Amino acid sequence: ETLRVLTSWDQSFPTVSQVLTAFTDHLEENVEDLDMPVSGPETIPPFEQFDPVSRGLFDVLFTIGSYHYNSLGIGMALDTLKGDLDDWREAGILDYVDQEYQKRGMKLLAILVDPGGYQVVLKEPLTGDALAGRKIRGTPSYHAALNNLGASPVVLPGSEIYPALERGTVDGAAWPIIGTVAFRWYEVADYIMRPSFGQSTYLVLVNLDTWNGLDEETRQQIETAAHDFEPTASDIFRGIVDGEVETLKENGMQETELTEDQAAALQQGWFVGQMDLAATVSPDEVARLRELAEEAGLTY
Amino acid sequence: MGVGLLLMLMATGMPVFAAFLLINLIAVGLFIGPAGYSMFTNSLFETTTSQSLVTIPLFILMGEILFRSNAVEVLFRSIDTLVWRVRGRQYVLAVVLATVFSTLSGAAMGVAAMLGRSLLPGMIDRGYDPRLSAGTILAGASLAPLIPPSVLVIIIGTLAGVSIAGLLVAGIIPGLMFAALFLGYIFFRIWRNPEMAPKNSDAVQQVSPGAALRAVLSLIPFTIIIAMVMGLILAGIATPTESAAMGVIGSLATAAIYRSLNLRMVMQSLAAAMKVSAMILIIMASSKLFSQLLAFSGGASALTEWVVGAEMPTWVLLSLMMLLPFVLCMFVDQIALMLIVIPIYLPIVAANGFDPIWFWLLFLVNITVGGLTPPFGYVLFALKSTWREGRLNDVYAAAWPFVMLFILGIVILALVPGLATYLPSLL
Amino acid sequence: MLSKAAFVLASAALAVIVASFAYEVVMRYFFNAPTRWASDLVSFLLLSAVFLAAPWLTREGGHVSITLLPDLLPEAWSRRIVAAGFLAAAAVCLWAGWIVAGEVRILYARGTMTLSAVPAPKWWFTALILFGFVNSALYFLRLAFGTQGERIPSEARNA
Ligand code: NA
Ligand code: NA
């Protein structure tokens, strides 16, 4: 059996070269006659991938929810929750998310969680008044969080972050911790803001027709292998994040700390901003997800 | 096979964008089917909403406004007055301007179209050789990705894990070397055939100090644009893309100083710029899927793996590694090409002990020249869209000598790595 | 007439692109109040401008083409080949239009929005692409069967 995998990032990202590769290796080892060749954003650009995979152009999609929240927002809402995969499973959240993805032609096979989450890279250290008066580049996901710290969020394409930091067009940029090394922002900025916030939930989605076309036993094997891999993925992610932060420090970056109150405001803003954004397109689904999460005490 | 068919279709005079569309739709129909339809539509959507391409219409608009505002005429006259002794000075001006505007833009296409619209007609009017003039502009514009700011450098730095700052600094000496090669070639042509550069038509033979001063002063408004674009980038006020829009506003200011700013002129400039931009962007949008399908089929990766997989002497390997992107870049979008090729090259660069900055700089020059190489180079289409009297065949003829000069330059860089690595080593 | 109006809109879009960027730069630098919309608006205006301008461009015979073969052949043959090229271009544009129309329907039915800071229905933009292709196809047909034999719009007439 061959399952063609599409990822939203190229091989220069450790998320692909280390985590996804380990995932496909693990499945190929534990499922008989399974082959999972991987293609990247050179075939289909990241923000356009959900639709072609749900229509069978590829069999598996490795991505994050915010890249397709215009189709379904609850994948992205997962980034904001407290707790871990077991808590979410117990609260019935994962079953619900899977059910909604299936309505759109995709089966949720696995969630690979990067507990490291997100950070803000800064040109200048914090001085006590959080990010007041600073211009920080961020996608709309970050806007509420940045506003809570007094910053002005700036919308810029990803490729312009490096020159914008270099020339001081922006004072900082918000991004997952993983990526700061690949983008070499340490060449043009000196500080990483702490604490980091949120967690990144990477989704492994399978085209539903492909999935239903597999025989019962193969499906069982794939599901078990994928499920077994989930904790390993978080371990790999922790290792990557530690390594990246170390690399950043070796290249002269320093941590700069928010106060406890500011950190709470940041976390709160991240939760509200991401949830609200997810709800703009999928209001009912996100409301249901929030309900399930609130019942289990997993919201901020 | 697809490439052969594409060539055939285009040779019949079918519009270039339609030929690309046809090939892509046939490929989608044959190999993918209806699942590929969303891929097709999205490739159009994605390309024409890509912000890095916004600089193309903005630079063309700048060129249109300057052309209509008499600014270019003033520039020519000032240069004629100031350096009337130098034969072929307008070629030099073309190289210098193309280099300056390349500094402002990462997109060779934008610069080529802008100068094709503003500078080229004036040069031809003055009796300069059309092909040499066009070639000069093409070559100068192709320096754009070498000189900061440059999106291509940022992408290479990210994908290949080399210092972006280092790569940008590394481009300085090679960029100057290429400019010197172009100038050397131009003066050689003029020396062989003085007809290529007319003497002063206005017969300025003696320049009074007063006239010289006036010539210098009349250059000031023109520098507003350069200051507007470059200054805003350097001061961190605008991103490179935004600064192109500020350059348009600067050119309006220039037009106002030359007293030729009026609504009619602005409307005409907008319409003309829109026409040319649509020509270029529709070709880019229609060809984008070609790169994606090449990646989808695995053909490009397989070819790359095969090329670098065999046992061979290092210099043969290096040549092949450079030849491959050079050829592919004629058909394929540069960014898509980098995503396919760079990951495969990385271990080989390391295994052979190639200096990363040197190697990726060579690579960068290569993919840039791909855009300048007939028959498919996008920069050629961009210049053609603005050069009304010229046929595409003329543009091809204009490009070839400079492609050869680029290749010569690449060979020099390959043999003398210090040209690329010396400045970064000081960082 | 429609194409002319669309072309004027496209030119206006270009002006709005300049204005949006200028506004964003001024607001961000001088007032520390960057907009949420400028960046996305510019992207969508670029798409709109290109496909709104396409039909008029076709009408004017303004597309870039490589006339290698027609240049080598005698006048009468060259005319036929160029006409055949236009016919093929019309067919391709119709084919593309047909595919895009299907996508417009799907996006409309699903209510898919754009992935932008200020979201908009995505079918608006795919509908503009559709407009560009279908209208261009009609003009290519007109060029192919054009009554005015001497009016083969060569690329030399680009404006
Ligand atoms: Na540049
Ligand atoms: Na190219």
Q: Is A128 within 8 Å of chain B by CB?
A: no
DSSP-derived secondary structure letter, B52: G
B267 band by pLDDT with thresholds 50, 70 and 90: very high
ipTM above 0.85, yes or no: yes
Asked if C36's CB is within 8 angstroms of A140's CB, the reply is: yes
- The confidence score (pLDDT) of residue B199 equals 64
Q: How far is CA C9 from CA B44, B72, C15, C18, in A?
A: 20, 28, 10, 14
Count of CB contacts below 8 A, B vs C?
198
Euclidean distance between CA atoms B116 and B140, whole angstroms: 12
Give the residue extent of every domain in chain C.
2-157
How confident is the model over A108-148, as pLDDT tens digits?
Answer: 999 999 999 999 999 999 998 999 999 999 998 899 999 99
Cβ neighbours of A157 in B, within 8 Å: 51-52, 241
Which chain C residue has its CA at the smallest distance from B274's CA? Answer: C11
Task: Tell me if B164 and A187 make a contact (CB, 8 A cut-off).
Answer: yes
Can you give the pLDDT at residue B410? Answer: 93
How confident is the model over C49-74, as pLDDT tens digits?
A: 999 999 999 988 778 777 667 777 78
| Partners of chain B (3+ Cβ pairs below 8 A) | A, C
* Beta strand A135-137 pairing with A152-154: parallel
Distance from the Cα of C79 to chain A's closest Cα (Å) equals 39
Beta-carbon-side half-sphere exposure of residue A214 (alpha carbons within 13 Å): 22
Instruction: Give me the residue from A70, A135, A157 closest to C115, CB to CB.
Output: A70
Residue B205: which pLDDT band, with cuts at 50, 70 and 90? low
Q: State residue C158's pLDDT score.
A: 35
Question: pLDDT value at position C153?
Answer: 45
Contact call for residues B175 and B143 (beta carbons, < 8 A): yes
Among A75-89, B187-201, C106-120, name the one with the lowest average pLDDT: B187-201
Residues 6+ positions from B371 with CB-CB distance below 8 Å: B108, B109, B142, B329, B330, B334, B377, B378, B379
Residue B164 confidence (pLDDT) above 90 = no
pLDDT digits (tens, 9 = 90+) for B233-253: 888 899 888 988 998 999 999
Name every chain C residue with its beta carbon within 8 A of the beta carbon of B50: 43, 46
Helices B151-160 and B334-351 sit at what angle, rounded to 10 degrees? 40
Q: A155–C33: do the CB atoms touch at under 8 Å? A: no
Q: Do B154 and A56 touch (CB under 8 A)?
A: no
Name the residue of chain A whose CA is nearest to C36's CA: A155
From residue B389, alpha-carbon distances to B139, B327, B381 in Å are 20, 29, 14
CA of residue B102 to ligand 2 center, whole Å: 17
Q: What is the pLDDT of residue C60?
A: 85
* DSSP symbol at A259: P
Q: CA-nearest residue of chain C to B283?
A: C64
When CB atoms are compared, the residue of A39, A156, A162 closest to B295 is A39
Closest approach of C68 to chain A, Cα-based (Å): 32
- Check if B238 contacts A (Cβ < 8 Å): yes
How big is the CA angle at A61 (ends A58 and A62), to the nearest 5 degrees? 145
Q: What would the mean pLDDT of A184-201 be, rounded to a whole number?
A: 94
- CA–CA distances in Å: residue B67 to residues B4, B133, B251, B383, B386: 39, 17, 10, 15, 12
Residues at Cβ < 5 Å from ligand 2 ion: B 329, 371
C108-112 own/partner pairs: CB under 8 Å, 24+ apart: C110/A71, C112/A70, C112/A71
Query: What is residue B194's DSSP assignment?
Result: G
> A251 CB near a chain B CB, below 8 Å?
no
Residue for token pair 């991004």: A175
- Give mean pLDDT, residues B54-75: 84
CA of B109 to the centre of ligand 1 (A): 11
Pick from A133, A143, A155: which is nearest to C39 by CB? A155
d(CA B295, CA B279): 26
Contacts of C123 in chain A (CB under 8 A): none
Among candidates A52, A164, A167 on the partner chain, residue whose Cβ is nearest the Cβ of B39: A52
CA A222, CA A31: separation in Å to the nearest integer?
A: 6
Q: Which of A16, A61, A159, A188 would best serve as a mutation to test chain B binding (most B beta carbons within 10 A)?
A: A159
Which of chain A's residues have a Cβ under 8 Å away from the Cβ of B237? 169
> Looking at chain A, which residue has its C-alpha nearest residue C37?
A155
pLDDT in tens, A252-277: 999 999 999 999 999 999 999 999 99
Global pTM reads 0.89
Could you check whether the bond before residue A195 is cis, i.e. omega within 30 degrees of 0?
yes
